[in-house]
Structure 1
Amino acid sequence: MQMINTLQPFSEFRNKESKYYLLPFNFKSFLSDQELLVNFAGDFLIVERGTAERVVKREITVDDDIYPDLVSNYFISEKQYPPLLDILATKYRTKKSFLDEFTALHIFVLTLRCNHACKYCQVSSVESRTPDSHDISYENLDYSIGKMFQTPARNITMEFQGGEPLLIFEKLKYAVEQAKTLNETHTKNISYVLCSNSTLLTDEILEYMLANSILLSTSLDGPELIHNGNRIFQKNDSYQTTINHMKRAKEILGEDRVSALMTTTKLSLNNPEEIIDTYIENGFSSIFFRSINPYGEALTDSIANYSMDEFIQFYKRGLDYIIELNKRGIFFVEEYAGIILKKILTPFTTGFVDLQSPAGIINGVIVYNYDGHVYASDESRMLAEKGDYYFRLGHVKDDYSSIFYSEKVVDIAKHWANEALAGCSDCCYQIYCGTDSVRNYSTQGDLEGFRPTSDFCNKNMSIIDYLFELMYQDEEVFQIFQSWISKKDN
């Protein structure tokens, strides 16, 4: 019996008149002879140079090979209202889902005192023997915790910072116990994070962290010469002390409960491979290449005096080395790239507040400072230590609404969405990027900033460009990037 194929070719379902409607998308030139098209939900196509113009001029016909891709990826629609409009809306809503719960990250600055004198210190910390006027009071700590529980978010993170918060570990314990008690009524899902240089860790502290599921985030700038050159501590032994205590923390807490953050300085620029190797030698499977932020001591110390272009070259060289390691079977992730790749290659968002629009300040993070004042972000309180209080939203004793819904917040909100900023509104990478109102204000004099001279823009555009180029030119790299997103070993 002869089988008859009843399936019709795609051409039978095409709009015979070649009439179509444009859906929102941006584009840019890509490599030498191509273009990158990205729609407002983050779907992308890499096409021949000139395709965007042909699409806009309605010159694409149903016989063009690109036609079904343009339709299925929501760049054009054969009907004025796409039949799958709800799916497109869902994709966009998913990209913006970080807004669903409002402020989820609550940073408690327990003290400004520190036992290090890091050359790039962004928080303007003070010497550890300074009087305790730089420590948070129990009263302000109670008010701060109360404010945290007023957030509508169901999943919240309680992050302890300094200075060095372990200088007053008793107040950290108090905060955790108080939060646990109040949560018997509020029933939120709370995560705890301790940001520490780790040099004051003891087994007693680590056992408490284990019992209360407190994550440790520490600092590791690379090999001994770089780390000690950046982070001044006692007899210049910050590196070895940190390594010893970090290893002990992993033994007690577990490998996956300890993370490290590196800060790039002039000492780092010519040594990305050595820095990565140091992380691998100490049992880490990832690194976050972090550039200097222009706050605190980082504004004046020569160790922080490098250009964003220099950082970008450092970043690319480090990323190339990491890719080579993966090709050799060593699973290792560059975390900043991983965050961006998740936004490019999946329909999902991330919790990374620096790449959000509307901006992560207030929407994603709030800071309760040691003196009781509330700030829009960690960088905001860094500005305050140098005498600029623009992003101070109030005091922990104030009403919740007067802090989070004040006229100042309304004014900030007018400038925190990249969809409405000149130079961002028509940028191809808008949906993958974010906006940094605090950095704009501190470096360029206003909340909106100026994209052609913005380091924030230069960094993110350069990195996203490079990620697309690497994926497009090497299928093996694309597979490596996919593995980073799933965090599964090859």
Structure 2
Amino acid sequence: MRVREYGFTFYNRGKEKMRYKIPDNSLLKKYKIQEGFPYIFDTGEIIALTNDAGDFHTITPQELHRLLSGEVSPQSTLGKILLEKNLFPGKIDKDKEIDRLKKKLRFLNYGPNLHIVIPTLRCNQQCLYCHASRRPEQKTGFDMTEETAKKVVDTIFDTTSQEITIEFQGGEPLLNFDIIKTIIEYAIEKNKVTNKELYFSLVSNLSKIDEKKMKYLLDKGVLFCTSLDGPQEVHDSNRPFSGNSSYKETIKWMERINKEYKKRGYDTNLYHVDALMTTTRNSLGHAKEIVDEYVKHGIKVIHIRPLNPLGFAQKTWEKIGYTTEEFLKFYFEVLDYVLELNLKGIEIQERTAALFIIKMITDRDPNFLDLRSPCGAGIGQVAYNYDGKIFTCDEARMMYEMGEDLFLLGNAGKDLYVDIMGSPITRSILLASLLDAYPYCEGCALKPYCGICPIINYMEQGDIFGSMEHSSKCKINKAILGYIFNKMHNPSNELLQIFQKWSIFRARE
């Protein structure tokens, strides 16, 4: 039976928890509803109906009762809507559903296109939540060599994907700038033969950049991403910097690089320094100030992310951590304020919500590897440590730095690409991130929009096949999707336009 009753408890921002029970569950047996009934998700306010392809419609509890009772005909107003959206019980067009599902799962045919490279594990900052287990700037033995760098690039170009993004992370990658240049030059040279779509990006705190480095990176088309946790007080408390202000350094170079983009004639709506925000206990209570900081600097996207229990964050959790409920309270304060600003004409989007909306109202996969089934580990992204060791994803590499080699796939220059992709580790991660492999997820109405991270399962529960009932990621995704479904129920034209704008993708040329 595909009908499920979850009785989902929705965290309603300070109000009492709400729970709606489907009336008269005997109706399920009475009407013998089996195949062809849409999935049901109860937000505590309305009911969302979905199918495997992600089509959805929201109805009231009373309308659900009528639907279960067989009182809704295909000719009725509701019936026509459900037919159009391929959600009418017993009349779901499987061919139509499969065709849409195929479009959303196209990524399964590509191969890894995101290749995260660690030029060095050294860093000049001391972030309280550092997931990478960075090493002090003065330490030796944690830099990638030229020989290893070329072996890594050779492995990257074995991918079956026609598109390659090489993303430099750390540590602070600019501390080994010569190797960044080596990788860029060698990759460009190799690509003269393979003719792939080749992109580069840099994730940096920007404190080690200068005019010469900036010019080189911009000339090579490298995209920039940095961390901005909020106003100076919040940012500096999260990211100590040897007596200096990490905030001031970040803002100075963000503005300088963005000015250079404009000078070169780029569309600054597309070409600018992107920013990542990590939520710590220091962030709580500063929702509006953090959003205002992004608006002040013209940043159009803010991504509210919870801490992962990796690296230094695990050791400092008592100081910087929080409960899932505390995170959600903060998240909804941000999202409410972001929507309030949009209704006033100030453009900024919250990325997690935007990713879900893209998956809900388009046929396009937003290329966010955490929200895929299976996830992107191994088949969408691969991570390469400074010493050439290869991992399923960057989180797996972080686990290795914590002493866990469970997700180590091999070594660049030693192991063949086909063996890495076909290894038992890759296969296990794929299976552990496949939503249909979990009884709790298989019949969930949110399955088309969701994803599982086996690494987080392992950290939280000691098993890559976690119990999703007890997963913080599951609770967060349910709450956010519940919020969006509530907003999607009879939305104003203004709100609908905001969500539609968030779903539009403009490619950099």
TM over 0.5: yes
Q: 2:393 aligns with which of 373, 377, 381?
A: 377
What are the residue-to-residue correspondences of 1:439-478 with 2, within 5 Å? Answer: 439-472=456-489, 474-475=491-492, 476-478=494-496
- 1:469 Cα shift? 1.2
What is the CA–CA distance in structure 1 between the aligned matches of 2:307 and 2:43, rounded to whole Å? 29
> 2:133 aligns to what?
124
What do the CA deviations read for 1:92-130 (whole angstroms, capped 9, x no partner)? 111112222121100001110001011111110010110
- Answer yes or no: is the 8 Å Cα contact 2:52–2:97 preserved in 1: no
What is the CA–CA distance in structure 2 between the aligned matches of 1:486 and 1:401, rounded to whole Å? 36
What is the CA–CA distance in structure 2 between the aligned matches of 1:186 and 1:119, rounded to whole Å? 42
What SS does structure 1 have at the residue aligned with 2:40? Answer: strand
- 1:53 Cα shift? 6.8
- 1:410 Cα shift? 2.2
Gaps of 5+ in 1: 1-19
Q: 2:107 aligns with which of 98, 107, 110?
A: 98
What are the residue-to-residue correspondences of 1:378-397 with 2, within 5 Å? Answer: 378-396=394-412, 397=414
> 1:37 aligns to what?
49
| 2:222 maps to 1:214 | yes
The percent identity for this pair of structures is 34
Aligned in 2, Cα 1:199/1:420: closer, same or farther, shift over 3 Å? same
Give the stretch that moved more between structures: 429-438 or 70-79. 70-79
- Answer yes or no: is the 8 Å Cα contact 1:209–1:253 preserved in 2: no
What do the CA deviations read for 1:148-171 (whole angstroms, capped 9, x no partner)? 111111112110011001001110
What is the CA–CA distance in structure 1 between the aligned matches of 2:309 and 2:372, rounded to whole Å? 20
What do the CA deviations read for 1:13-71 (whole angstroms, capped 9, x no partner)? xxxxxxx9943631122444x42100111111112426567656766434543322332
Aligned in 2, Cα 1:160/1:74: closer, same or farther, shift over 3 Å? same
What are the residue-to-residue correspondences of 1:70-85 with 2, within 5 Å? Answer: 70-76=82-88, 85=94
- Answer yes or no: is the 8 Å Cα contact 2:457–2:465 preserved in 1: yes
| 2:81 maps to 1:69 | yes
- TM-score after normalising by structure 2: 0.87
| 2:177 maps to 1:141 | no
| 2:171 maps to 1:163 | yes
Aligned in 2, Cα 1:126/1:56: closer, same or farther, shift over 3 Å? same
What are the residue-to-residue correspondences of 1:166-181 with 2, within 5 Å? Answer: 166-181=174-189
Q: Which one has a bigger Cα radius of gyration?
A: 1
What are the residue-to-residue correspondences of 1:404-423 with 2, within 5 Å? Answer: 404-423=421-440
- TM-score after normalising by structure 1: 0.90
Amino acid at match of 1:377: C
What do the CA deviations read for 1:257-314 (whole angstroms, capped 9, x no partner)? 3111111111101001111111111221221111111100101214422112111110
- Answer yes or no: is the 8 Å Cα contact 1:216–1:258 preserved in 2: yes
Amino acid at match of 1:116: Q
What do the CA deviations read for 1:238-274 (whole angstroms, capped 9, x no partner)? 1111111111111123442311111111110100111
- Answer yes or no: is the 8 Å Cα contact 1:206–1:253 preserved in 2: no
- Answer yes or no: is the 8 Å Cα contact 2:342–2:348 preserved in 1: yes
What is the CA–CA distance in structure 2 between the aligned matches of 1:461 and 1:87, rounded to whole Å? 26
What is the CA–CA distance in structure 2 between the aligned matches of 1:62 and 1:385, rounded to whole Å? 58
What is the CA–CA distance in structure 2 between the aligned matches of 1:280 and 1:341, rounded to whole Å? 22
What are the residue-to-residue correspondences of 1:188-207 with 2, within 5 Å? Answer: 188-207=196-215
Q: 2:501 aligns with which of 467, 478, 483?
A: 483
- Answer yes or no: is the 8 Å Cα contact 2:48–2:56 preserved in 1: yes
> 2:242 aligns to what?
234
Give me the CA root mean square deviation. 2.1
What is the CA–CA distance in structure 1 between the aligned matches of 2:157 and 2:336, rounded to whole Å? 44
Aligned in 2, Cα 1:325/1:48: closer, same or farther, shift over 3 Å? closer
| 2:360 maps to 1:344 | yes
- Answer yes or no: is the 8 Å Cα contact 2:276–2:303 preserved in 1: yes
> 2:254 aligns to what?
246
What SS does structure 1 have at the residue aligned with 2:48? Answer: strand
What are the residue-to-residue correspondences of 1:6-17 with 2, within 5 Å? Answer: none
Q: 1:354 aligns with which of 367, 370, 378?
A: 370
- Answer yes or no: is the 8 Å Cα contact 2:37–2:90 preserved in 1: no
> 1:436 aligns to what?
453
> 1:9 aligns to what?
none
What is the CA–CA distance in structure 2 between the aligned matches of 1:25 and 1:95, rounded to whole Å? 19
What is the CA–CA distance in structure 2 between the aligned matches of 1:399 and 1:311, rounded to whole Å? 42
- 1:422 Cα shift? 2.2
What do the CA deviations read for 1:310-343 (whole angstroms, capped 9, x no partner)? 1111010011111111111111111111111111
Aligned residues: 465
Q: 1:280 aligns with which of 295, 311, 330?
A: 295
Give the stretch that moved more between structures: 85-94 or 265-274. 85-94
Aligned in 2, Cα 1:208/1:139: closer, same or farther, shift over 3 Å? same
What SS does structure 2 have at the residue aligned with 1:174? Answer: helix
- Answer yes or no: is the 8 Å Cα contact 1:107–1:158 preserved in 2: yes
What SS does structure 2 have at the residue aligned with 1:36? Answer: strand
Gaps of 5+ in 2: 1-32, 263-267
> 2:41 aligns to what?
28
What is the CA–CA distance in structure 2 between the aligned matches of 1:78 and 1:387, rounded to whole Å? 52
- 1:359 Cα shift? 1.1
Aligned in 2, Cα 1:403/1:78: closer, same or farther, shift over 3 Å? closer
Give the stretch that moved more between structures: 474-483 or 134-143. 474-483
What is the CA–CA distance in structure 1 between the aligned matches of 2:303 and 2:443, rounded to whole Å? 29
